[in-house]
Amino acid sequence: MRTKNPFEPRAVVSRRGGRVKKPLSLELIVSTALELLRREGSDAMSLRRVAAALDTGPASLYVYVDDVLELEALVLDRALAGVRVTAKPTSAWRRRLTALLESYFQVLFGTPGLARLAMRRIAAGPNALRMVEAMLGLLDEAGLDGPTAAWAVDLLTLYVTAIAAEQTERVGELDPLGPIAAVLRTVKATEHPRVHRLRDELVSGCGDQRFAWALDVLLTGLAQTPARKR
């Protein structure tokens, strides 16, 4: 598979068009995987494709990574480096928290497959911690007690992740609203009167509108929730 010619040492010239082959490292593997995900979509991030991009066989990656699950978690955390956690401290907590979650949403929504990856892996790296720390600070400003804030972090991230995953799914479908819209059109008023009456409302609104509305509901609910005792 690789050239045996000693005059073309593999560290300098690779078979794949003369690209210089860097030595393997976890760092390189993770960034290559993320790059692949960004450029070619969620299906492109397999151990084999990453290995191929690094001009090696899949077995080589197992020196740095236990399995594909670990790689996915690392890729997710690395992508979270792009989340802006600090806004002008002049604005109100609610505005800043919204901005943070919007940034998180955009990061997930921006690279295909990342949101769904975030649904099945939980990032437990430095960037995830940075996000949680910032959110706890903002929820503290909001007047929430510690225990409530701790659970609120989970609720908020889980919801934003889920809606990003849902929105991602729908992108690129023929009917942007998916098969649901088709089904809703056939619902009979006699059988499901409410669904029939609200069939347009059920699928109305773009991602941004729904996101903003839902965040409002969540934050309002959190503000009204009684403190949890430790």
Q: Which residues bind DNA (CB under 7 A)?
A: 1-2, 10, 23-24, 43-44, 46-49, 56-60, 62-64, 67-69
**H helical segments located in 41-186:** 47-53, 68-79, 93-110, 114-120, 126-141, 146-170, 178-186
* Whole-angstrom distance, CA of residue 38 vs CA of residue 23: 22
Q: How far is the CB of 76 from DNA (least distance, A)?
A: 15
* Whole-angstrom distance, CA of residue 80 vs CA of residue 94: 21
**Region 72-131 residues binding a copy of itself, contact defined as CB under 8 A:** 73, 116, 119-120, 122, 124-125, 129-130
Cα–Cα separations (whole angstroms), residue 178 to 114, 134, 183, 188: 20, 36, 9, 19
Which residue, 62 or 213, is less far from a copy of itself as judged by CB? 213
Residue 77 contacts by C-beta under 8 Å, 6 or more apart in sequence?
123, 124, 125, 126, 127, 128
Q: How far is the CB of 169 from DNA (least distance, A)?
A: 15
Binding site for a copy of itself (CB under 8 A): 73, 116, 119-120, 122, 124-125, 129-130, 132-133, 136-137, 140, 146-147, 149-155, 158-159, 161-163, 165-166, 169, 178-180, 182-183, 187, 192-195, 197-198, 201-202, 204-205, 210, 213-214, 216-222, 224-225, 228, 230
